[in-house]
Chain A
């Protein structure tokens, strides 16, 4: 039984990482503590050093990665966005760094609990993103991530994401692979490119003015990222053969005959699957699609499943302030030029770790059924339960704010 954090540390240990710059941040810290203990105990051979901030930590990680070392680092939330500018820089360096982000809502107001505004803020950086539902997947994804990052056809850094608390601190059965099989899947890194050594003069991160060269480099990154879908399929097939666990770009649950499809990401998907079963018990042909690969966005796989449904709901645990759900926008643009496409509804819940209740899932499926049966399209909605609204009103009372929200179904 391992926590998500311990599973991540095991992934790093199995990957034979050379260097780990670190900085503590809740709820990630257990990962670096575990690694520092193993290194101290002599069971893991890597260099470990704590830095003064995530900005320096991510910078040092990228720089070490550029010399041809296999490098890992981990952060969360505020730490990820504190190092934000370096994410663009490191992706531009085309180095195979693997990082974990343990999702946590962004300040302010400050919180420790998860949502996905942190990781999705970095979606345009060039990092490939793998989002995990369970602890086993966290460990496995680290191994897959190094294969992707170090592949000559890609050479982009990878972020593996898991939800804080719900995954980072939850113990689940995790099967540890035998080391020989791991070495077979992920041999030592022997770079033919992106290594930076004094013996072979090359310049990295140079200035390019005029725009045409800049555009060229960005387009090359984009092409490499798009290529990563195909490479991902190869790598995950190989992984499945060796370890018996299959990780497609998207994971589906009862989706084959689903008329009402729910799209989610990360650990709350487990609750979504339970909701699918309850909806099926109510004779709703419900199914679920979980995005595992979020960058590159696996458009073809999404279209394949989404087109079979009559109505689709995207449940975002993030909010692009002034627009709405981020995954909804991505899915909507993916479908826009399809001739036949389902109705696409947008829901937001689970911000800052807010529970997504049984009633909220029921409301989503009722909305989908209404869309299918009566053609009623509900507007994008942020979901709350009645009990949560009562609590908000109680807090407003304490601070002397008179205006109360009234609960209405559909609010």
Chain B
């Protein structure tokens, strides 16, 4: 009998703390699949954020360090600069990367740090029970915008990919989603490209992943996927924003 599907060895055999319908488990699994397939488990170092993915080190069987809120780019920089042969990635949510850690990610990008950033955008602060994040859509109801985000008072969703792409230090930036099996396959390809960018020493890469949060979007899993496709992608269009392989 031939095994055609199995749990990646890098994924620790345990139950998770993620809510039903959450996208984090899918992303962590994709990372684990790549680490297994490429045989890089012994040289990969991951950074866990503050937020829903704070316990990522409980799921990935690699060296991981948990960073203070918004600080993974700085921690990753410290590690990568002294261990350039390790593969270093930071795993961050939108509260971590696009709010409290905005300065950190901009300057890591501007320095062209040879690190892969995995940015999971679910448009809310999930771990603290669904408050407005900078990525929250206009009109979206959250715990701190009960009537929906009014941009006149609360500002507009931050498009991190487009913001960073104007910096000369960035090499590969793509936005993908988890809304369908096809999009999940594209997400895996984008993650592979991000790690390839680092292995080829081409510098800063960031993959933004639009991820469902059914609990704090107050939707079921199907509606969440539809919300990504129909609402989120209007504000956060999918696709490659910058790619070093396509220069010239």
Within 8 A of B (CB), among A29-63: 29, 32-33, 36-37, 40-41, 48-50, 52-54
Q: In chain A between 80 and 130, which residues have their CB closer than 8 angstroms to a CB of chain B?
A: 82, 107-108, 110
A interface: dominant SS: mixed
Shortest Cβ distance from B58 into chain A, in angstroms?
A: 12
Chain B 135-174 residues near chain A, CB threshold 8 A: 143-147, 153-154
Q: Contact between A50 and B131 (Cβ–Cβ < 8 Å)?
A: yes
Q: Is B66 in contact with A36, judged by CB distance below 8 angstroms?
A: no
Q: Is B102 an interface residue (CB 8 A)?
A: yes
- Which residues of the other chain, A, contact B147 by a CB distance below 8 angstroms? 40
- In the complex, the answer to whether A33 meets B144 with C-beta atoms within 8 Å is yes
Query: Interface SS of chain B: helix, strand, loop or mixed?
Result: loop
A353 at the interface (CB under 8 A from B): no
Q: Tell me if B131 and A33 are in contact (CB < 8 A).
A: yes
| Segment at the interface with A among B122-130, B190-198, B224-232, B239-247 | B122-130
User: Across the interface, do A36 and B68 meet the contact criterion of CB distance under 8 Å?
Assistant: no
CA gap between A333 and B99 in the complex, in Å: 43
Q: What residues of chain A lie closer than 8 Å to B54, measured between beta carbons?
A: 110
Closest-by-CB residue of A relative to B136 is A50
Contacts of A25 in B (CB 8 A): 128
Cβ A32 vs Cβ B144 within 8 A: yes
**CA of A49 to CA of B151 in the docked complex: distance in angstroms?**
11
A40 adjacent to B146 (CB under 8 Å): yes
Enumerate chain B residues within 8 angstroms of A33, measured Cβ to Cβ.
Answer: 129, 131, 143-144
Beta-carbon contact of B70 and A53 below 8 Å: yes
Would you call B100 an interface residue if the criterion is a C-beta within 8 Å of the partner chain's C-beta atoms? yes
> In the complex, are the beta carbons of A50 and B69 less than 8 A apart?
no
For the complex formed, measure the closest distance between the CB of B72 and the CB atoms of chain A, giving whole angstroms.
14
Task: Say yes or no for B212: interface residue by CB 8 A criterion.
Answer: no
Chain B residue numbers with a CB within 8 Å of A40 are 145-147
**Residue B23 at the A interface, CB < 8 A?**
no
Q: Which residues of A contact B127 (CB under 8 A)?
A: 26
B101 to chain A: closest residue by CB? A53
Cβ of B132 within 8 Å of any chain A Cβ, yes or no, is yes
Does A24 have its Cβ within 8 Å of any Cβ on chain B? yes
Taking CB atoms and an 8 Å cut-off, the chain B residues in 83-132 that contact chain A are 95, 99-100, 102, 125, 127-129, 131-132
Q: Is the CB of A22 within 8 A of B144?
A: yes
Whether a CB of chain A sits under 8 angstroms from the CB of B214 is no
Q: A29 — which chain B residues lie within 8 A by C-beta?
A: 128-129, 131, 143
The verdict on A78 contacting chain B, using a C-beta distance below 8 Å, is yes
Q: CB < 8 Å: which of A37, A41, A82 contacts B69? A: A82
Known: A24-B125, A29-B128. A50 touches B66 (CB 8 A): no
Question: Quick check: is B46 within 8 A (CB to CB) of the other chain?
Answer: no
In the complex, how many angstroms separate the beta carbon of A54 from the nearest chain B beta carbon?
8
CA of A65 to CA of B189 in the docked complex: distance in angstroms?
51
Q: When the two chains form their complex, are residues A36 and B146 in contact, meaning their CB atoms are under 8 A apart?
A: yes
Taken together as a complex, chains A and B put the C-alpha atoms of A24 and B165 apart, in Å, by 29
A26 to B131, CA, bound (A): 12
CB-defined contacts of B132 to chain A, threshold 8 Å: 50
Q: Closest chain A residue to B145 by CB distance?
A: A36
Take A29-B129, A50-B131, A52-B100 as given contacts and tell me if A107 and B144 are in contact as well, using a CB distance cutoff of 8 Å: no
Q: How far apart are A24's CB and chain B's nearest CB, in angstroms?
A: 4
Say yes or no: is B134 at the interface (Cβ < 8 Å to chain A).
yes
Residues of B within 8 A of A82 (CB): 68-69, 100
Q: By the criterion CB–CB under 8 Å, are B146 and A49 in contact? A: no
CB distance from A202 to the nearest CB of B (A): 29
Report how far A32 CA is from B153 CA in the complex, Å.
16
A258, B245: Cα distance in complex, Å: 78
Q: Could you tell me which residues of chain A, from 199 to 234, have a CB within 8 Å of some CB in chain B? A: none
Contact yes or no, B68 A78, CB < 8 A: yes
Q: Are A53 and B144 in contact (CB under 8 A)?
A: no
Q: Is the CB of B99 within 8 A of A36?
A: no
Given the contacts A40-B146, A107-B68, A52 and B134 also touching, CB distance less than 8 Å: yes
Asked whether A108 and B129 contact (CB < 8 A) given A36-B146, A40-B146, the answer is no
Q: List 5 A-B contacts (CB under 8 A).
A: A23-B100, A24-B125, A24-B128, A48-B144, A50-B144
Task: List the 3 shortest-distance A-B pairs measured between CB atoms, nearest first.
Answer: A53-B100, A24-B128, A24-B131
In the complex, besides A53-B99, A108-B66, 12 extra interface pairs with C-beta distance below 8 angstroms are A22-B144, A33-B143, A40-B146, A48-B144, A50-B131, A52-B134, A53-B100, A54-B100, A82-B68, A82-B69, A110-B54, A110-B66
